[in-house]
Structure 1
Amino acid sequence: MGLDTSPEKPAPVRQIANLIAGWVDRLGPVWVEGQVAQLSRRQGMNTVFLTLRDAVADVSVPVTCSRQLFDSLNPPVVEGASIVVHAKPSYYANRGTLSLRAADIRMVGLGELLARIERRRQLLAAEGLFARERKRPLPFLPRCVGLVTGGGSAAERDVLEVARRRWPAVEFRVLHTAVQGPNAAAEVMAALGRLDRDDRVDVIVIARGGGSVEDLLPFSDEGLLRAVFAATTPVVSAIGHEPDSPLLDLVADRRAATPTDAAKTVVPDVAEEIERIAHARSRIRSSLGAWLDRERHQLDALRARPSLADPVSGLDDRWHEVVQLRDRSRRSMHHRLDRAHDDLVHQLARVRGLSPLATLRRGYAVVQDADGHVVTSPEQTQVGAPLRVRVADGRLGVLVQETDPDPAPEEKPEDDE
């Protein structure tokens, strides 16, 4: 600023404030985009005060405009609306505040909002936040359902009434937040974090009624989407009606068309479950009855067989067969024994016939000298020699009184040829 000051010669506050105001006043007008976080129209004042918030960072700046300019806007500016402001920076020296003095305010068009949401959707989809494989299954019967919604809203009433009508014992933990406006996304994120850290909560429902694209803009907030993606508890999105499609529907584990549909999604109908159980019981009974009938028919068929109807008759037949086989075996055995006996007698007769004792019994005898040699000729002994005679039933000791050899037989003359 070119101001010469020192500890001995300090500048007064008014001088510094005026210098800052003069330096800021030399800045030219700029176009600024943001979201209306606060709106104040004080009675009897020609100036309207707004707070313009950055859509991504936690940065805001005050904006002032004339009441005439503000009232001429169509549609009117409301909190949470996205606007583009043509303003000149201004420093109010009395209070030491910096603000933007708006000369023109334009609403961000619906087409531009949708285009920005689509760009955000493509970027998050590329990161995998909407991937189907990361979707967590919902519990069949949750112990406690966490509900994030506006206080006293129709969405809260629909979810609670429908869920308790379907399953009266269901427990809810409800956290009320803003569901539109500049603070809605931050409050929903905080409530989501509290429910996600609660071990009793098995599923979380984020519910809101229908509205315009601008009203539902917080549910396409990037911070909220990343918080839902990072949550460990399954999240159900129930924002608006069927045509409404904020990006929260894509990142949530399950999308419900309406808050009523969300209640039907997370809580089973006790009447339907009882009916299903009765139907299953009926089918089991029918199946079991049919199986028992088949088994009974098979048992009747088995019992009707002769072997089971009169088992003694079969035993009698087998008994007669056993008796016949026994008689045949006995006859065969006797026949074999008789044949073996006959063979044995025949062989015994042959052995006996070949025995020397049988020859002795026919009147023959065996003569031996004193040395035990068999005497077969008178020339082998002499008169007075002792001999032993072996007969059929004993032995005899004899002395030779005479020897009388037989004459040699005459040779038969050969016939003339």
Structure 2
Amino acid sequence: MTPVGTVTSDHHTPAPRRLAARALETTAENPWPVRLLSSKITEYVSKMAPLWVEGQVVQLNRRPGANLAFLTLRDTDADMSLPVSVHARVLAAVEAPLQEGSHVVVHAKPVFWPKRGTLQLQADALRPVGVGELLARIEHLKRVLAAEGLFDADRKVPLPFLPATVGLICGRESKAEHDVVVNARTRWPSVRFEIREVAVQGSRAVAEVCQALAELDADPAVEVIVVARGGGAVEDLLPFSNESLVRAAAACRTPLVSAIGHETDAPLLDLVADYRASTPTDAAKHVVPDVAEERRGLTHARQRIRHAVRARLHGEQQGLAALRSRPVMADPHAVVERREEEVRHARTAATRAFAWRTDRAAGELGGLVGSLRALSPAATLARGYAVLRTHDGEVVRDPDQVEPGDQLEALLARGRLVLEVGYGDEADE
């Protein structure tokens, strides 16, 4: 059936008005009245089936003697919440006492109240999420993030040696803030802090910490960021194992220090941070150096440098003194004169040796000449002998070599003669 309204004509006579059947058909001239929209929403919501929903209890209102209790169920990852009404007997059936901050799963049906224009969940069952189940979820998330490489060592960057400005995310007027600021300024008085005080537990913690982290990471003056919180129960530290917060920390470009709880606490933020401090005080000791220790280091370094320079100068002075004490440095000409004397002696010895050698060689040569002369045919010729040769140059050693009338050449000691072979008696021969 098409909704019908009334309009007023020029004669002030009401006339029926046909309303739009669907929301898309409404116009400024033909809108829906509030009652119709409320009825539409009520009709739509009433078609929804009951469901299980998880969240954190942030408000719990129980009145003595009342049949209904009211609580606010808040999403742990986003700033969203829904009101929930629950019967007192359902709360009484919960084993562990329900408190604000408890994680629960609720079986409820959405209900829209048209008069107030509000949406509410009517719960008929409520179960707290135990610590063991929460830890199991964190362990599962840990394996997932580790498989993605968010905890790898090569992603971590070293902290700056002396940051001028430190970003600090902590609770409002918390002891963790005091520990970080006081200890850091005790170590290095000139260090500056950009502090963001946020909720560090409860339903708003994740959103506020992520927002503060984004603000400090975008500030170019901030060189390192510290997220600090004191110790607490496992439920109190759950925001720092939240997937959204861990991924926001992994995306942070500024070096990040996690100082959550005590040394035994291990939220996932510790694994993704560039440095994990056991306590807020430990974080202060690592983000800035100790000025007294640095001064002592400078003093010791100056002493070592001074000692090294003095030792080097002393060694060079000793070496120079040793060089100057050498005879060559006392009388540089002595070396030249000594070498000159050595050369002179060498020349004299060489001259003597050469003369002795030449004299000996001359004597040997004379002896050889005498022997040669003694053995020479010329010496034989000098004693009156002659050598006969034929006209062919053949030496005559036997009379049978020649015939009477042959011409012979007689070689004498001085000159030569030409002879003719004659005839003689055998007796004369």
TM-score, reference length from structure 1: 0.70
Q: Secondary structure at the match of 1:39?
A: strand
Tell me, yes or no, if the aligned pair for 2:77 and 2:206 is still in contact at 8 Å. Answer: no
C-alpha distance in 1, partners of 2:43/2:64? 29
Q: Show CA shifts across 1:390-414 (max 9, x none).
A: xxxxxxxxxxxxxxxxxxxxxxx99
Q: Show CA shifts across 1:167-226 (max 9, x none).
A: 001111111111111111111111111111111111011111111121111111212211
Shift of 1:324: 5.0
Matched, 1:77 2:99: yes
Shift of 1:49: 3.5
Report the structure number with the largest CA radius of gyration. 1
Q: What does residue range 1-400 of structure 1 map to in structure 2 within 5 Å?
A: 5=3, 8=17, 17=38, 21=42, 29-36=50-57, 38-39=58-59, 41=61, 46=66, 47-56=68-77, 59-66=80-87, 74-79=96-101, 81-322=102-343
Q: Secondary structure at the match of 2:225?
A: strand
Q: Percent identity?
A: 52
C-alpha distance in 1, partners of 2:63/2:53? 27
Shift of 1:128: 0.9
Shift of 1:67: 6.1
Structure 2: which amino acid aligns with 1:212? A
Q: Secondary structure at the match of 1:204?
A: strand
Shift of 1:333: 12
Shift of 1:265: 0.8
Tell me, yes or no, if the aligned pair for 2:77 and 2:207 is still in contact at 8 Å. Answer: no
Structure 1: which amino acid aligns with 2:164? R
Larger CA deviation: 277-286 vs 219-228 = 277-286
C-alpha distance in 1, partners of 2:41/2:161? 65
C-alpha distance in 1, partners of 2:144/2:97? 31
C-alpha distance in 1, partners of 2:218/2:65? 47
- Structure 1's unaligned 5+ residue stretches are 336-412
- Structure 2's unaligned 5+ residue stretches are 6-16, 20-31, 357-422
Q: Show CA shifts across 1:219-270 (max 9, x none).
A: 1121221111111110111111111111111111111111111110101001
Q: Secondary structure at the match of 2:211?
A: helix
Q: Show CA shifts across 1:351-392 (max 9, x none).
A: xxxxxxxxxxxxxxxxxxxxxxxxxxxxxxxxxxxxxxxxxx
C-alpha change, 1:102 and 1:310, in structure 2 (3 Å) is same
Shift of 1:105: 2.8
Shift of 1:290: 4.0
C-alpha distance in 1, partners of 2:265/2:218? 29
Q: Show CA shifts across 1:319-351 (max 9, x none).
A: 43455567789999999xxxxxxxxxxxxxxxx
Q: Secondary structure at the match of 2:267?
A: coil
Structure 2: which amino acid aligns with 1:239? I
Tell me, yes or no, if the aligned pair for 2:258 and 2:277 is still in contact at 8 Å. Answer: yes
C-alpha change, 1:302 and 1:164, in structure 2 (3 Å) is same
Shift of 1:94: 1.4
Q: Secondary structure at the match of 1:162?
A: helix
C-alpha change, 1:71 and 1:207, in structure 2 (3 Å) is farther
C-alpha distance in 1, partners of 2:157/2:33? 64
C-alpha change, 1:15 and 1:286, in structure 2 (3 Å) is closer
C-alpha distance in 2, partners of 1:279/1:253? 31
Shift of 1:314: 2.9
C-alpha distance in 2, partners of 1:67/1:267? 55
Tell me, yes or no, if the aligned pair for 2:210 and 2:248 is still in contact at 8 Å. Answer: yes
Tell me, yes or no, if the aligned pair for 2:60 and 2:100 is still in contact at 8 Å. Answer: no
Q: Show CA shifts across 1:259-306 (max 9, x none).
A: 111110101001111122222333334444444444444444444444
TM-score, reference length from structure 2: 0.68
Tell me, yes or no, if the aligned pair for 2:52 and 2:107 is still in contact at 8 Å. Answer: yes
Shift of 1:92: 1.7
